[in-house]
Amino acid sequence: MANTEWLDGESHWIKKNDINLFLWNKKAKSIKNKGVILFIHGSSMAAQPTFDLRVDGRPYSSAMDWFADKGFDTWTLDNEGYGRSDKKRNINFDIQNGMEDIACAVDYILLNTKSSQVHLYGISSGALKAALFAQNYPTSVSKLMLDAFVWTGENSPTLEVRKKKLSEYKENFRRPIDENFIKSIFDRDHPGTADGKTISAFAEAILTLDDSVPTGTYVDMCSKLPLVDPLKIYSSVLILRGEYDGIASMSDLLKFFALLPNMNKQFTVMRGISHASFQQKNYLMVYDIMHSFLTMQEPTYYGD
């Protein structure tokens, strides 16, 4: 069974003009706080199912719990059009709009935690939103983690399939989702990377909050890439690429990685993982990779 009530964190509501945005927080379970992590979800699901999932018999299905236990103050955001955030505007809630949501959330988090920066994690279209935020607000991001990221879309099997329905996505501001669609996320690249019990729990949690999601991120990823300039991202960056992920080719990501100006950067290929890394069989490996990046010793010598 999935956790669909989410009772053990703190709900926060913030304003973006007259729009209500939902933030969810789980505080660090440690006297020594290691910093703030803000998690940004992808195109087809809200924040809590992605980052605070519970599955019986699967320890730490909630990434927020795992990182809170390691001493991080963990936050996640429902972008406008998803989950508990407002869905009232008749727009498609694209990448730019999602980046503006992050800006509102980061302002609120920094004010309420008295922190100067956040660590920012985004997955899939959430990685694009996170990267665009880091580009536009460089002083607000300490470390940037991009999972299932796509830069130009070159040689992307997933986007090639998605482009066949681009006209439909452009004509409609929302697209329906159901259990079969959510299961297809785990079948399209390499079946078997996630177990059925976790997939079912994930689907149940997603559909508790949404039966449709915006089309804006799909339109952007199919017709407007690149949206991010790596030369303008100055924070330390971790790129996480699932071995079997079809959203971005290895060559596309390596070209992006090479252009990042901060040499305190890492590129990791995650063995046995396709697209939704926190719901995969190897999810604990992903947490370890991220934790190592977040806690590694800072350089003492920077060269010229």
96 within some domain = yes
* Dist CA 153 CA 160 (whole Å): 9
Q: In what order do the strands lie in the sheet with 36-40?
A: 10-16, 19-26, 73-78, 36-40, 118-123, 141-147, 236-242, 266-270
Does residue 278 fall inside a structural domain?
yes
Task: Check residue 62 and give its pLDDT.
Answer: 98
**pLDDT at residue number 32:** 77
Separation CA 271–CA 277 (nearest Å): 10
Residue 24: the pLDDT is: 98
CA dihedral 223, 228, 229, 235 (to 10 degrees): -170
- What backbone torsions phi and psi does residue 216 show, to the nearest 5 degrees? -60, -40
Q: Tell me which residue range forms the domain holding 281.
A: 10-292
Burial class (CB in 10 A: 0-12, 13-18, 19+), 13: exposed
The CATH number given to whatever domain includes residue 225 is 3.40.50.1820
- Per-residue confidence (pLDDT) for residue 5, from 0 to 100: 64
Name residues of the chain where pLDDT drops below 50: 1-2
85 belongs to a structural domain:
yes
How far apart (Å, rounded) are the C-alpha atoms in residues 291 and 72? Answer: 10
Q: What is the pLDDT of residues 282-304, one digit of tens each?
A: 999 999 999 999 999 988 998 87
4 falls within a domain: no
Do residues 50 and 187 lie in contact, with contact meaning Cβ atoms separated by under 8 Å? no
238 lies in some domain: yes
Residue 144: CB atoms within 10 Å: 28
Contact 286, 198 (CB under 8 A): no
What residues form DSSP beta bridges with 25? 10, 75
Total structural domains within the chain = 1
Which pLDDT score, from 0 to 100, does residue 33 have?
Answer: 82
pLDDT at 51: 98
Is residue 303 one of the residues assigned to a domain? no
DSSP state, 239?
A: E
Neighbours of 272 (CB within 10 A): 14
Strands in the chain per DSSP E? 10-16, 19-26, 36-40, 73-78, 118-123, 141-147, 174-176, 212-214, 236-242, 266-270
Q: Which residues pair with 266 in a beta bridge?
A: 238
**The model scores a pTM over 0.95:** yes
Pair 262, 144: CB distance under 8 Å: no
302 domain residue, yes or no = no
Three-state DSSP at 282 gives: coil
Strands 19-26 and 73-78: antiparallel
Residue 298 belongs to a domain: no
